[in-house]
Amino acid sequence: MPELVINISNVVSPLCYSLIRLEPYTTCIYGCVYCYARWYRRESDIVRPRVNAVKEFSIYARKIYRRDLLPIPARLSTLIDPFIPHEELFKTSLSLLRIALDYEYPIIINTKSILLLRDPWRRVIERLADRGLVSIQISVSTLDQRISSSLEPYASTPSERLSMAREFSSIGIPIAVRLSPYIPRISIYPSIEELANIFKDHGVRHVVVEVLRLESSSIESFLRGLGLDIDVESYSLRIVEGLTPISRISLGSRIDEYIALSKTLARYGIGFATCKEGLYSIHTAYDCCGMYLLKRSIAYRATLMEIYRIAREWNGIPLEKIGDAMDILLKQGYLVGEKLRLYPKRVSKPLKNHEKKLLRVLKSRDMVIHIAPSLDIVDGRIIARDIDDTIKTVSRPR
């Protein structure tokens, strides 16, 4: 597994801000039945600390600090929960947090665990928070305890995770909830209004949804097991020999709930975004990951979100003017083009390749509308679509 920067792909490269990742362990023991990390991991089922991740992050964070560069927030982590029980023995995540503290590097913690509430982890997190260097993103698939226990058998309960959210938010640490995987009707339990009220009561400031995706051969039976008869669609852009085709819940089966959830959360003062879905017209937050909650100046890379904003402002971007749009983003402070050369090569080279992939995606209408339905290419122009226009292009659920 490469260190520090997430692998280049047609989906991640054009959509994701937080490409810096810290993976402390080789695998996870929570046994979530929907886990998609298994498609990316190549190690055995034995949990081992990734000592090279600690070494690489220490070198990189020190260089960013000494060069006085704006840091790109790092995710702890993306494929493995960083606070599985093994953390009590190995303390690899604790080492990464201490490096972030030493070099004032911003961290987005993504977890289902409540180990963070205990020292020494809590003490370090509070020190990071005092410097505006941390936000906590709590992953929840549903607040229905019965279903949660079957989907996430070895993780802490949803109520325990929310209690942790309340405790940390009460001392000023920004809290986001990741509804992941998002499953219609299941993830909005007990109702959208009650869910928003619960989140508000527990100090949640941002919600990001990431729809369920599973192997195409098993997703429909998985949903039927939950009592759901809903449409699915291909997540994979194309069939590749040797790779398992992946499907997700169809846009038509989730869009109405997304719209209602976005509007309801807005009334409670909570930001909303989608993860790797490109539905920008219903986002109410500056970025999807909740990086805006950090209280430090940070570096943003350009994504399709920025292209969407420029397309709205310009009433469309001619394909031959994409370079001009990127130049504008460079002047606005985004980490694009030549500005990447300022950063250590261990991240600047892969980030440059991510940018190249983003630009390649923008040349294909099929890829653009599949990856980001809020965009389209019409008559040689990239256009931003309102949600009503997006809905017209998808089928409604059965």
Question: Where, residue-wise, is CATH 3.20.20.70 in the chain?
Answer: 4-293
pLDDT digits (tens, 9 = 90+) for 238-286: 766 667 889 999 999 999 999 999 999 999 999 999 999 999 999 999 9
Q: Which residue has the tokens 């965009």?
A: 375
Residue 259 CA to residue 282 CA, distance in Å, equals: 6
pTM beyond 0.85: yes
> Quick one: tokens of 194?
């009650």
**What are 371-389's pLDDT values in tens digits?**
999 999 999 999 999 876 6
The model's confidence at residue 237, banded by pLDDT at 50, 70 and 90, is confident
- 252-291: string of b/e by CB count within 10 Å (b at 16+)? bbbbebbbbbbebbeebebbbbbbbbbbbbbbebbbbbbb
pLDDT in tens, 30-73: 889 998 766 555 545 789 999 999 999 999 999 999 999 999 99
Mean pLDDT computed over 334-358? 96
Distances (CA, A) of 254 to 24, 34, 174, 186: 33, 18, 27, 11
Residue-level pLDDT at 37: 64
Sign of CA dihedral 110, 114, 118, 122: positive
The CATH number given to 4-293 is 3.20.20.70
Query: Which of the residue ranges 38-42, 212-216, 336-340, 382-386 would you say has the lowest mean pLDDT?
Result: 38-42
What are the tens digits of pLDDT across the range 352-362?
A: 999 999 999 99
So what's the pLDDT on residue 259? 97
> How is residue 115 annotated by DSSP?
G
pLDDT > 60? residue 153: yes
